[in-house]
Amino acid sequence: MESAITKLVEVFTKYAGKDKRLGKKDFQKLMETELKNFITNTENNKAVNELKDQIDKDKDGKLTFEEYFCLVTQLATNKYKLQ
């Protein structure tokens, strides 16, 4: 369990900017690189951006670790199909 939590933090940190949040390009790169086999259609920029907007609870255009973790939680129970 500890290694799984550590990996979640490492992946987020790898793609997050200096402000420790995922911007549009950061999130796109994370999706294409880390989740391409788990979420379909990650190369569709518009669909990925719409997904980012859905999980961006404070609507500031960037994802905090907490918002990213909500995505991971949803992925653990369902697979997203981006269109």
Give bridge partners of residue 22 from the DSSP assignment.
Answer: 63
Report whether pLDDT(62) > 60. yes
Report whether pLDDT(53) > 80. yes
Residue 42 is encoded by which pair of tokens?
Answer: 């990650």
User: Three-state DSSP class for 63?
Assistant: strand
Contacts of 35 (CB under 8 A, 6+ apart): 42, 75
What ranges do the domains of the chain cover? Answer: 2-77
Question: In which band, very low, low, confident or very high, does the pLDDT at 71 lie, cut at 50, 70 and 90?
Answer: confident
pTM assigned to the model:
0.82
Residue 68 is encoded by which pair of tokens?
Answer: 């990213």
Q: Class assignment of domain 2-77?
A: mainly alpha
For residues 26 and 47, give the distance between their C-alpha atoms in angstroms, rounded to a whole number: 15
Residue 3 is encoded by which pair of tokens?
Answer: 């290694």
Give bridge partners of residue 63 from the DSSP assignment.
Answer: 22
Chain segment 26-39, per-residue pLDDT in tens: 999 999 899 887 77
